[in-house]
C-alpha cells in the first residue's frame, strides 16, 4: 500500500519552501518532494552572474528577512545560500532526488508517483516553478544549422562564447542579460527581437522599480498608465530615444526588461539588433525582414512555461500557460489541489510567493479542519 501524507508539496524551490514553512507554522504534517539533489536546485544551476531584479525587502520568504548587511539586489549564489539556510532553520521536511513523476486522483485523495514509490495525500500543492519547463521552439531549417543551439537555461558563463558569433533569440530579462554579458566578454552578439521590449530602469529615485510598481498598482489604471508614460519620458530625456522596438502591450501587462545593460551594449555597438528569426540556415539564420547573418551559436532566450507535466490532462491552463485558479492559489479543475509560484508580475515573483504561500497554507488548514 502507498504511504499516506496529509499534504504533499511538489518542489523545494522558493515556492515549495515558503509553503512548507507556513504549513509547519500551522502544525500541518506534510512532505516536500524535490527533483534535484539539493533544495533550490534551479537556483543552484542558473547562470552564475544572475542577480535578483527585486529588492531584498520584497524578496524574502515568510519568517526570515534578509540580513541588513545583504545587498539590495541579491546575487544568485547568495540567494541560493539563503534558501539552504531557510530550510535548515525551520527544519523543513524536504526529500531530495525525489521528483514527482505523475499525479493522479483515483478516488478522493491524490496519488503521487515518484521513482522511489507512491504516496497518497489529502492535499497536493504544486510549487514546481517554471524553469523545469523551458520553451524550446524549432525553426525551419534547424536541421541544417551547423552550430550549437541551446536554451538559456543551459547557459552558465560567457567565456566559452568569447570570439564566437552568437545569436540570442528573445529579449526578455534572461536574453538581455546573457546577450550583453557575452558581448562584453568578447563574443559578437546579435539579438533577434520579434515583437519588441519595454525597458524600465532598475531603480527610480534610488528605489527598486519593483517597490514603485507595488504602490502604483494600487491606483486606478489610468493613473498607472500615466505613471508609466512619465517614467518613459524621464528615461528618454536622460538616455535618448529607445534603441529597441516597443511592443504593443504596456509594461503593466507583462514583465518588462529591467535595467539598461542590453541598451547600453547596443548603444556601444557591442550588440546588433535584428528582427525575428524566419529560419536557420547551414551557416546561421535568416530574419523576417529578409536579412541574414552567420552564427556559431544560437541561444534560445524564449522563456518558460509552468512545469505541470505530472498532472497530465487533469487541469486546464489559462492564456499564460498556468493552471486555472481561483483565489490566486486554488485549482479550478481539481479539488484539494493548490498552486504556489504561479503569479508573476512587476511586483516580483518572490513577493507573490510570500503572499501566496501564506494564503495556500491558511486555506489548506481550513480544509483539513473540516474533515
Cα–Cα distance between 337 and 212 in angstroms, integer?
Answer: 33
Residue 26 has a pLDDT of: 97
- Summarize the confidence of residues 53-68 as an average pLDDT: 97
Q: Percent of the chain beyond pLDDT 70? A: 100
Q: What backbone torsions phi and psi does residue 39 show, to the nearest 5 degrees?
A: -65, 150
SS3 362: helix
Length, in residues, of the chain: 371
DSSP structure string for 250-280: -TTTSPPEESSHHHHHHHTTSEEEE--EEEE
The four Cα atoms 308, 309, 312, 317 give a dihedral, to 10 degrees, of 40
pLDDT digits (tens, 9 = 90+) for 88-139: 999 999 999 999 999 999 989 999 999 889 999 999 999 999 999 999 999 9
Residue 251 has a pLDDT of: 87
pLDDT digits (tens, 9 = 90+) for 140-196: 999 999 999 999 999 999 999 999 999 999 999 999 999 999 999 999 999 999 989
Cα–Cα distance between 56 and 35 in angstroms, integer?
Answer: 27
Average pLDDT of the chain, as a whole number: 95
Residue 370 has a pLDDT of: 81
Cα–Cα distance between 41 and 23 in angstroms, integer?
Answer: 21
DSSP structure string for 286-338: EETTS-EEE-SEEEE---B----GGGGGGS-B-TTSSBPEETTTEESSSTTEE
Q: In the chain, what are the domains?
A: 3-133+304-369 (3.50.50.60), 142-300 (3.50.50.60)
Cα–Cα distance between 212 and 223 in angstroms, integer?
Answer: 13
Residue with grid cell 513577493, as numbered in its chain: 351
DSSP structure string for 297-308: EEEE---B----
pLDDT digits (tens, 9 = 90+) for 297-307: 999 999 999 99
In this model, does residue 2 exceed pLDDT 90? no
In this model, does residue 1 exceed pLDDT 80? no
Residue 292 has a pLDDT of: 97
The four Cα atoms 163, 42, 126, 7 give a dihedral, to 10 degrees, of 170
User: Partners of 207 in the beta sheet?
Assistant: 204
CA angle 125, 19, 33 (to 5 degrees): 55
At 157, list the grid cell.
558563463
Residue 116 has a pLDDT of: 86
At 253, list the grid cell.
501587462
Residue 345 has a pLDDT of: 85
Q: What pTM, to 2 d.p., does this model score? A: 0.94
Is residue 324 a contact partner of residue 332, using CB atoms and an 8 Å limit?
A: yes
Residue 270 has a pLDDT of: 98
- Summarize the confidence of residues 4-8 as an average pLDDT: 94
At 206, list the grid cell.
534610488
- Summarize the confidence of residues 18-25 as an average pLDDT: 98
In this model, does residue 371 exceed pLDDT 80? no
Q: Which stretches within the chain are classed as H helix?
A: 14-25, 41-45, 76-89, 173-184, 209-216, 221-239, 261-267, 349-369
Q: What backbone torsions phi and psi does residue 211 show, to the nearest 5 degrees?
A: -65, -40
Q: For the stretch 85-102, what's the b/e string if a residue is b when 16 or more beta carbons lie within 10 angstroms of its beta carbon?
A: ebbeebebbbeeebbbee
At 4, list the grid cell.
499516506
pLDDT digits (tens, 9 = 90+) for 199-256: 999 999 899 999 999 999 899 999 999 999 999 999 998 998 899 989 988 888 888 9
Amino acid at each position: 500500500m502507498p504511504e499516506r501524507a496529509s499534504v504533499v508539496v511538489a518542489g523545494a524551490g522558493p515556492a515549495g519552501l515558503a509553503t512548507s514553512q507556513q504549513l509547519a507554522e500551522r502544525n500541518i504534517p506534510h512532505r516536500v518532494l524535490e527533483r534535484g539533489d539539493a533544495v533550490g536546485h534551479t537556483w543552484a544551476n542558473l547562470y552564475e552572474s544572475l542577480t535578483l531584479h527585486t529588492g531584498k525587502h520584497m524578496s524574502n520568504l515568510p519568517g526570515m528577512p534578509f540580513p541588513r548587511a545583504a545587498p539590495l539586489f541579491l546575487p544568485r549564489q547568495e540567494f541560493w545560500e539563503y534558501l539552504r539556510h531557510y530550510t535548515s532553520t525551520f527544519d523543513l521536511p524536504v526529500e531530495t532526488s525525489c521528483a514527482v513523476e505523475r499525479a493522479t486522483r483515483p478516488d478522493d485523495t491524490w496519488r503521487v508517483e515518484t521513482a522511489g514509490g507512491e504516496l497518497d495525500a489529502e492535499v497536493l500543492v504544486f510549487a514546481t516553478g517554471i524553469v523545469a519547463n523551458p520553451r524550446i521552439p524549432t525553426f525551419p531549417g534547424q536541421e541544417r544549422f551547423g552550430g550549437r543551439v541551446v536554451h538559456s537555461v543551459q547557459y552558465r558563463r560567457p567565456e566559452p562564447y568569447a570570439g564566437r558569433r552568437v545569436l540570442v533569440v528573445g529579449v526578455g530579462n534572461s536574453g538581455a542579460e546573457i546577450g550583453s554579458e557575452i558581448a562584453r566578454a568578447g563574443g559578437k552578439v546579435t539579438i533577434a527581437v520579434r515583437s519588441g521590449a519595454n525597458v524600465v530602469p532598475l531603480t527610480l529615485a534610488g528605489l527598486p522599480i519593483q517597490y514603485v510598481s507595488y504602490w502604483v498598482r494600487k491606483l486606478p489604471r489610468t493613473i498607472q498608465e500615466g505613471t508609466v508614460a512619465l517614467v518613459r519620458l524621464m528615461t528618454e530625456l536622460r538616455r535618448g530615444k529607445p534603441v529597441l522596438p516597443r511592443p504593443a502591450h504596456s509594461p503593466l501587462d507583462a514583465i518588462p526588461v529591467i535595467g539598461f545593460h542590453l541598451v547600453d551594449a547596443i548603444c556601444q555597438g557591442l550588440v546588433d539588433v535584428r528582427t525575428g528569426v524566419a529560419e536557420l540556415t547551414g551557416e546561421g539564420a535568416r530574419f523576417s525582414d529578409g536579412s541574414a547573418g552567420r552564427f556559431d551559436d544560437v541561444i534560445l532566450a524564449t522563456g518558460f512555461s509552468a512545469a505541470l507535466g505530472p498532472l497530465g490532462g487533469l487541469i486546464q491552463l489559462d492564456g499564460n500557460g498556468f493552471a486555472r485558479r481561483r483565489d490566486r492559489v486554488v485549482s479550478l479543475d481539481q479539488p484539494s489541489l493548490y498552486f504556489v509560484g504561479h503569479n508573476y508580475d512587476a511586483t516580483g515573483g518572490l513577493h507573490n510567493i510570500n503572499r501566496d504561500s501564506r494564503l495556500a497554507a491558511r486555506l489548506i488548514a481550513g480544509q483539513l479542519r473540516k474533515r
